[in-house]
Amino acid sequence: MENFYLTTAIDYVNGAPHIGHAYEKILTDIIARHFRKRCENVFFLSGTDEHGIKIQKTSASKGITPKELCDINSGKFQDCWKDLGISYDKFIRTTDDYHKNAVQKIFNKLLEKGDIYKHSYTGLYCQGCECFLNEKDLTEDGLCPDHLTKPEEVSEENYFFKLTKYKDAIVKHIKENPDFIVPSFRANEVLNQLEDIQDISISRSSSNLQWGIPVLNDSRQVIYVWIDALSNYITGLGYDTENNSDNFRKYWPANVQVIGKDILKFHSIYWLALLMALELPLPKQILAHGWITIDETKMSKSLGNVIAPQDILKNFELQNADALRYYMATSAPCGKDGNYSDDDFKEKVNAHLANSMGNLLNRTLSMLVKYFDGEVKPEFKTDASILNTAKNTIDIVKSHFDKYEIAEAGNAIIQLVDVTNKYVTDNAPWTLAKEEKMTECGQVLTSVLDVMCVIASLIEPFCPNIAKDMAEQLSFDLSIKYDDLTIDNIKIGKLIEKENIHPVFLRMDSELADKSGKQK
């Protein structure tokens, strides 16, 4: 695979980022970092969605302009992603001029093609969803099922997109490509939604909505969220219907688009129809992740349990986000809901990153210094059995990533750590040294350190800072791609001095962490 393109949903900037936003970005970043170790070119797009009635109303209530509100909150998202180590290649804002110009061209192209028409309409509009709902979609009390608010009846003359024209083609694509929607069990949900799909409104009257992209040649209409927001995935690459960029030609179609399960309908139906209308290739896969609950309770402002990811870093005095990244990414199987709790977070990362992985590296290097002055000798031949296990784990992890099973990949890495810990216990290098079987002792230690290089490489997408620290202590080149990763990574000669050995992750409740006042 030479090129790999992946996207996140763009976040609505009516508020600040919370742990649910972070979960999606962490998952996508881990996928991007993994495939950078397999592909020549990876392009990772993220961004913010900045138009709509909620922005217009919120900014008015604060006494600032919509753009000022967008600038403030988009900045909060970008700062948060920096703190979490999100390595996007481009951050798009739908208020960017190039995006607005491209959206207007896309609208006009579909209008000229006859896929957009003007129509008077009365419907039930949910401001939270930013979409019209059918009565059958509502709760028994007539409320939006997601926001539990009563939609307002709206009558407008808007532009509509001929979504129904592409219904059969979308059904055919989903049925003929069972791996298109990940996890596959969500495909039936989409097929059920397609049964009674209707054409969709893609503009709003400027008398009701001013904060948006104007329709060219019709100042009374503002382009509505679906063409505006969904188009970011191609405008971010430089698509504008006429003079498309090299990046667009190089990377589109996307290999995977990562979204929350609540917006799967818009991405697997609306988005596909728009692409078909533009005569563009469809994304290869859509990954619909689950939600994150807090202590087994759905996040809600009214409950006061909305958590900002940066607050977690501050509360646990973490200098980087590796522990949170690892915990969030392994919190739920592919597509299922996950849960966050402070106690589980501390317990899991202490067990996996400090006790199992960190301690394994620390005590093995310490024994190498104690018994061999930190030197790997030529006669230390590595053990094929444990190294073959490591080699097989590389293939297992790659296979999980091919199916976007991120939690499962993380579990496979920790299983390799556990197997290696058992290997140390079973072979007892301290006993071999006591019995003066020094060559056998050195072989055990060298084999373990060789496996630790593989572990560092595999864990890097999850924990880039920890992996870097591990690699430095192992004198291992972390930039090696997986296809070039061997089972002979430890070089003959002096590896490390005693003073250079240190824990790569301190237990959150360790005395060292308490004394330093912060985690490493």
| Structural domains present in the chain | 341-516 (1.10.730.10)
Reduced DSSP (H G I as helix, E B as strand, rest coil) percent helix, strand, coil of the chain, to 5: 50, 15, 35
Task: Report the alpha-carbon distance of residue 422 to residue 424 in Å, rounded.
Answer: 5
pTM: 0.93
Task: Report the alpha-carbon distance of residue 64 to residue 62 in Å, rounded.
Answer: 6
Catalytic residues: 18, 21, 126, 129, 144, 147, 298, 301
* Amino acid letter for position 461: P
Query: 472-477, long-range: CB within 8 Å, 24+ apart, which pairs?
Result: 473/361, 473/365, 473/500, 473/501, 473/502, 473/504, 474/361, 474/449
Computed from CA positions of residues 94, 96, 101, 102, in that sequence, does the dihedral angle turn out positive or negative? negative
pLDDT (tens place) for every residue of the chain, 520 residues total: 799 999 999 999 999 999 999 999 999 999 999 999 999 999 999 999 999 999 999 999 999 999 999 999 999 999 999 999 999 999 999 999 999 999 999 999 999 999 999 988 777 877 766 667 777 778 878 888 776 888 888 777 899 999 999 999 999 999 999 999 999 999 999 999 999 999 999 999 998 899 999 999 998 999 988 899 999 999 999 999 988 999 999 999 999 999 999 999 999 999 999 999 999 999 999 999 999 999 888 877 767 778 999 999 999 999 999 999 999 999 999 999 999 999 999 999 999 999 999 999 999 999 999 999 999 999 999 999 999 999 999 999 999 999 999 999 999 999 999 999 999 999 999 999 999 999 999 999 999 999 999 999 999 999 999 999 999 999 999 999 999 988 888 999 999 999 999 999 998 875 444 434 344 4
